């Protein structure tokens, strides 16, 4: 037990902490979605980039399906579309459902999976941890772009450090 406790202390991050880190970012992204006026969420963009709605659809395509595949080993399809009817409320509802889905499948990921080499969505290769880092980092990256959209629209985005 003493050895186990020491190992607990001397790791960079536990699976539970890693999940909390991800969900903290997802909570901030949710508030960025909320900060967009309905119309701008679906229509505004800069420099020919995607709208924040399209970026959000990419995040939804990756997060819950990605962790489900990491947990189960069953290949998922990368699907950036669902019938949201141009409604932010529908997208936020899906966001919240996926929050639960991520918690559920995260609890089923065996700890050795983080260091195993995986191929996700039939094409992306890397360790479990590097895959999850990609999910999180890609979300931060696109959310940072959303901050510029909000600023360009004259809207104050939520504080980056509030999770």
Distance of alpha carbon 94 from alpha carbon 84, whole angstroms: 9
How many Å is the maximal CA-CA distance in the chain?
Answer: 57
Stretch that binds its own copies, among 32-40, 82-90, 96-104, 125-133 (CB under 8 A): 125-133
Stretch that binds its own copies, among 71-79, 82-90, 94-102, 154-162 (CB under 8 A): 154-162
Q: By CB under 8 A, tell whether 107 contacts its own copies.
A: no
Choose which of 13, 37, 100, 108 interacts with its own copies (CB under 8 A).
13
In 3D space, the residue among 72, 127, 139, 128 whose CA is nearest the CA of residue 99 turns out to be: 139
Q: By CB under 8 A, tell whether 121 contacts its own copies.
A: no
Chain centroid, CA 110 distance in Å:
20
Choose which of 1, 5, 10, 85 interacts with its own copies (CB under 8 A).
10
Classify each residue of 90-113 as buried b or exposed e, where b means 16 or more C-beta atoms within 10 Å of its C-beta: ebeebbeebbebbeebbeebeeeb
What does the binding site for its own copies look like in residue numbers (CB under 8 A)? 3, 7, 9-15, 17-18, 21, 25, 46-49, 111-112, 114-115, 129-130, 133-134, 137-138, 140-145, 147-154, 160-161
Residue numbering of the annotated binding site: 142
């Amino acid at each position: 037990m003493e050895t186990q406790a020491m190992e607990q202390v001397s790791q960079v991050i536990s699976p539970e902490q890693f999940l909390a880190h991800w969900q903290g970012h997802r909570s901030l992204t949710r508030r960025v979605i909320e900060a967009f006026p309905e119309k701008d969420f679906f229509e505004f963009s800069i420099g020919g980039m995607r709208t924040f709605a399209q970026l959000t659809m990419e995040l939804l395509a990756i997060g819950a399906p990605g962790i489900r595949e990491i947990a189960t080993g069953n290949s998922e399809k990368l699907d950036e579309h669902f019938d949201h009817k141009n409604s932010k409320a529908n997208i936020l509802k899906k966001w919240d459902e996926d929050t639960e889905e991520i918690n559920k499948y995260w609890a089923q990921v065996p700890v050795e999976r983080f260091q195993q080499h995986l191929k996700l969505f039939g094409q992306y290769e890397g360790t479990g941890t590097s895959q999850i880092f990609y999910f999180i980092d890609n979300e931060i990256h696109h959310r940072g772009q959303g901050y510029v959209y909000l600023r360009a629209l004259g809207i104050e985005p939520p504080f980056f450090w509030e999770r």
